[in-house]
């Protein structure tokens, strides 16, 4: 299943060019993607086209985005020699700086260095797509699916799970790639929440960022830090001024501490807070004029 010039092609590891060579892994990814014959599939970083050719057998159309012009030439030549040429389009460019086309599903072996920004580019894409089946570095994948209380639960976990359901599908050994990467990989399924949560994401991320500054510490301890108090007080004062309100008679630090105590937020810890805990805490602070963005 390798491309015509696979053995002589020099791959650039700095661009994350690790080509999936095992046809059984390709088949497993295709099977778990549940591609429909009417689907337009987006593939990011198609490389020499091992996954692409299998996608073309299932989908109505495949649109690939590839950074390396050499790879674009390679995959174009490979598809042109197949029966699927009219069902394929390749865009040469950096996916992070490319306007994404309409697609139903995204299936990709993702260049690992763009994992995080790519996830959020996909999740903010409109209209919503059905799902994405993506290969990532194992640790990154496990952070995406981590649950509250687990060692890997982090800001990435919270932010992704607010916007999507994420499931781990399969582990992939580094020996399935050429050249082999230094790390193991995993495939995950990301399904955007529909409807999209009614939430100011910048506000959400601002709060989560504070909680995970020291994710094992309680909110009571984190919100006593001088830098946190100063940042929140600045937001508080600016918002009051924008609303034409005068200075608050209660010292901000005292107000903040009272809210945390009165609403039993002081013993919460970032690494144990689920989505509802975070949403409830933000709502409490917002009701009292405290904002995180």
What is the per-residue pLDDT across 2-51, written as a single tens digit (0 to 9) for each? 444 444 556 555 555 678 999 999 999 999 999 999 999 999 999 899 99
The pLDDT of 264-290, averaged and rounded, is: 96
Residue 136 reports pLDDT greater than 50: yes
pLDDT score recorded for residue 128: 97
CB 48 within 8 Å of CB 2: yes
User: How many structural domains is the chain composed of?
Assistant: 2
Percent of the chain exceeding pLDDT 90 equals 85
66 annotated ligand-binding residue: yes
pLDDT score recorded for residue 261: 95
| Dist CA 257 CA 71 (whole Å) | 57
94 annotated ligand-binding residue: yes
pLDDT score recorded for residue 199: 87
270 annotated ligand-binding residue: no
Domain co-membership, 18 together with 141 = yes
In this prediction, residue 271 has a pLDDT band, given cuts at 50, 70 and 90, of very high
* Domain ranges, residue 237: 201-288
151 annotated ligand-binding residue: no
Residue 140 reports pLDDT greater than 80: yes
| Dist CA 180 CA 60 (whole Å) | 32
Domain co-membership, 133 together with 259 = no
45 annotated ligand-binding residue: yes
pLDDT score recorded for residue 53: 97
* The domain boundary residue, chosen from 192, 214, 235: 192
Domain co-membership, 230 together with 176 = no
Residue 218 reports pLDDT greater than 80: yes
Question: Is position 137 within any domain?
Answer: yes
| Dist CA 265 CA 109 (whole Å) | 41
pLDDT (tens digit per residue) in 224-270: 999 999 999 999 999 999 988 888 888 999 999 999 999 999 999 99
CB 111 within 8 Å of CB 45: yes
pLDDT score recorded for residue 6: 44
More confident residue, 150 or 9: 150
Domain co-membership, 244 together with 277 = yes
Question: Is position 220 within any domain?
Answer: yes
CATH of the domain at 103: 3.40.50.150
pLDDT score recorded for residue 1: 47
CATH of the domain at 277: 1.10.8.480
Domain co-membership, 100 together with 25 = yes
Domain co-membership, 241 together with 185 = no
* The domain boundary residue, chosen from 135, 162, 192: 192
pLDDT (tens digit per residue) in 55-103: 999 999 999 999 999 999 999 999 999 999 999 999 999 999 999 999 9
Q: Could you tell me the two tokens for 231? A: 């940042």
Mean pLDDT of the chain: 93
Question: Is position 3 within any domain?
Answer: no
| Dist CA 209 CA 203 (whole Å) | 10
Residue 142: other Cβ atoms inside 10 A: 19
pLDDT score recorded for residue 255: 95
20 annotated ligand-binding residue: yes
Q: Could you tell me the two tokens for 140? A: 């990154």
């Amino acid at each position: 299943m390798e491309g015509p010039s696979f053995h002589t092609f020099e791959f650039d590891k700095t661009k994350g060019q690790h080509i999936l060579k095992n046809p059984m892994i390709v088949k497993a990814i295709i099977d778990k993607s549940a591609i429909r014959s009417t689907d337009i599939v987006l593939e990011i970083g198609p490389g020499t086209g091992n996954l692409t050719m299998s996608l073309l057998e299932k989908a109505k159309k495949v649109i690939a985005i590839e950074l390396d012009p050499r790879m674009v030439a390679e995959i174009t030549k490979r598809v042109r020699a197949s029966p699927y040429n009219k069902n394929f389009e390749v865009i040469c460019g950096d996916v992070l700086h490319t306007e994404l086309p309409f697609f139903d599903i995204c299936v990709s072996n993702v260049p690992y260095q763009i994992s995080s920004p790519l996830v959020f580019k996909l999740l903010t894409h409109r209209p919503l797509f059905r799902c994405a089946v993506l290969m990532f570095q194992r640790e990154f994948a496990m952070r995406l699916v981590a649950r509250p209380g687990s060692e890997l639960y982090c800001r990435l976990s919270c932010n992704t799970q607010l916007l999507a359901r994420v499931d781990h599908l399969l582990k992939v050994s580094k020996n399935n790639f050429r050249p082999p990467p230094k790390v193991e990989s995993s495939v995950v399924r990301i399904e955007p929440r529909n409807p999209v949560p009614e939430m100011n994401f910048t506000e959400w991320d601002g709060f989560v960022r504070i909680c995970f500054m020291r994710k094992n510490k309680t909110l009571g301890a984190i919100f006593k830090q001088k830098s946190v108090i100063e940042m929140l007080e600045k937001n508080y004062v600016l918002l009051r001024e924008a609303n034409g309100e005068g200075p608050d008679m209660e010292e901000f630090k005292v107000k903040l501490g009272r809210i945390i105590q009165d609403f039993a937020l002081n013993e919460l810890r970032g690494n144990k807070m689920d989505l509802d805990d975070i949403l409830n805490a933000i709502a409490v602070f917002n009701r009292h004029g405290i904002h995180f963005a």
